[in-house]
Amino acid sequence: MSESTTAILEAAAATETQSVKLSMQQALNRALDEILSNDPKTVVFGEDCGQLGGVFRITDGLQAKHGGSRVFDTPLAESGILGMSVGLAMAGFHPIPEVQFDGFAYPAINQIVCQIARMNYRSRGTLPMPITLRVPSFGGIRAPEHHGESLEALFAHVPGLKVVSPSDPHDAYHLLKYAASRPDPVIFMEPKSRYWQKGDVGTSDGGTLTGARVVRPGRHLTLVAWGAMVARCLQVAELAAEDGIDVEVLDLRWLKPIDAEALATSVGKTRRAVVVHEAPLTSGLGAEVAQLITQSCFDTLKAPVERVTGFDVPYPSGDLEDEYIPNIDRILLGIQRVLEYRRG
């Protein structure tokens, strides 16, 4: 067991009021350890999730502590991993499978869409699917092809699935524990470029876990983002403040269901909005967010909702990531377009 894992497991035994500084990787590891400890029906598995502890070490030390029957490796077959999850859920277990990289989820789409998402509906509630599918997601680590994707719109489109993406260690810890307690299948999209970000993680969730949250209040414009793009939008907000532009940053967190009330409250106040995500523009989740904003704030919007996104091309390999992922300059330009918009 590594020194970092030992520290995490010791932190898990700390007093309930204590806050500890953890990376997102450590926070997720701690959450999984507590879930396994508190629920004997939970099983964690995936490619290299056992002895190695996962390619990102999210499951580091868990097999040694909880045993090989509860934390184990699988063959390199995503359709098998998710198919086995269905059978385990039907047998009364609470599976937490991992797809090693987001792009590897494509071979398991049939199991996710046709079985996991529909089984509860198909069985009229007699076969719930309490499956939490962990998916290291998005880009930013200069990985090869199929190792950086943004699949949130695909998953969010499927009835029966819930989709969530944390943006910091505190939320990663609490949202994973919350997702694992749900009777419904949850796609848990972890921003892998933020695995090494450190932050304070307390035992109190600090508020509701079921909707969006304002991570930076502002008056002039709302930036809406999720996952890794939240941190980038916070950087943008700091730069915009130097020019007297007070930007609010809304972390959407839940991508299915979307917190329409939080969108209406934030944009109703600022009257302008820019949605930022890594996925391609066309039919991206930003279009759904823009529609929800327009529907609730049509009479008060001072400009159309702007989207700053990836491009309508396959997600590129690492050497082109910086050109693809929305950067600070592109987001600032989006803000400028919204602020300078004048009705004809």
Cα gap 132→93, rounded to integer Å: 11
- Average pLDDT of the residues in 94-105: 96
> Which of 15-24, 150-159, 330-339 shows the lowest per-residue confidence on average (mean pLDDT)?
15-24
**Residue pLDDT, tens place only, 46-73:** 999 999 999 999 999 999 999 999 999 9
Residues 6+ apart with CB under 8 A from 19: 200, 201, 202, 203
Burial class of 335 by CB neighbour count within 10 A (0 to 12, 13 to 18, 19+): buried
> Which of 36-40, 143-147, 265-269, 290-294 shows the lowest per-residue confidence on average (mean pLDDT)?
143-147
Is residue 94 annotated as part of the catalytic site, yes or no? no
Cα gap 94→181, rounded to integer Å: 9
Residue matched to tokens 């972890």: 190
- Asked if pLDDT for residue 17 goes beyond 60, the answer is no
Predicted TM-score (pTM) of the model is: 0.92
CATH class of the 3-202 domain in this structure = alpha beta
- Asked if pLDDT for residue 9 goes beyond 90, the answer is no
Q: Which CATH number fits domain 213-339: 3.40.50.920, 3.40.50.620, 3.40.190.10, 3.30.530.20?
A: 3.40.50.920
> Which of 6-10, 61-65, 171-175, 216-220 shows the lowest per-residue confidence on average (mean pLDDT)?
6-10
- Average pLDDT of the residues in 140-165: 93
Residue matched to tokens 């076969």: 127
Question: 193 with 243: CB under 8 angstroms?
Answer: no
- AA letter at 126: T
Residue matched to tokens 């200069």: 142
3-202 and 213-339: same fold? Answer: yes
**Residue pLDDT, tens place only, 228-238:** 999 999 999 99
**How do beta strands 42-46 and 162-164 pair?**
unpaired
Burial class of 144 by CB neighbour count within 10 A (0 to 12, 13 to 18, 19+): exposed
**Residue pLDDT, tens place only, 317-334:** 888 899 999 999 999 999
Q: Of 66, 94, 147, 174, which one is the catalytic site residue?
A: 147
Per the prediction, the chain carries an average pLDDT of 93
- Asked if pLDDT for residue 148 goes beyond 80, the answer is yes
Band of pLDDT at residue 1, cut at 50, 70 and 90: low
At residue 317, the pLDDT reads 82
Cα gap 276→88, rounded to integer Å: 37
Q: Which of 121, 2, 129, 12 is nearest to 60 (CA)?
A: 2
Domain definitions of the chain by residue range? 3-202, 213-339
Residues 6+ apart with CB under 8 A from 57: 2, 4, 5, 25, 29
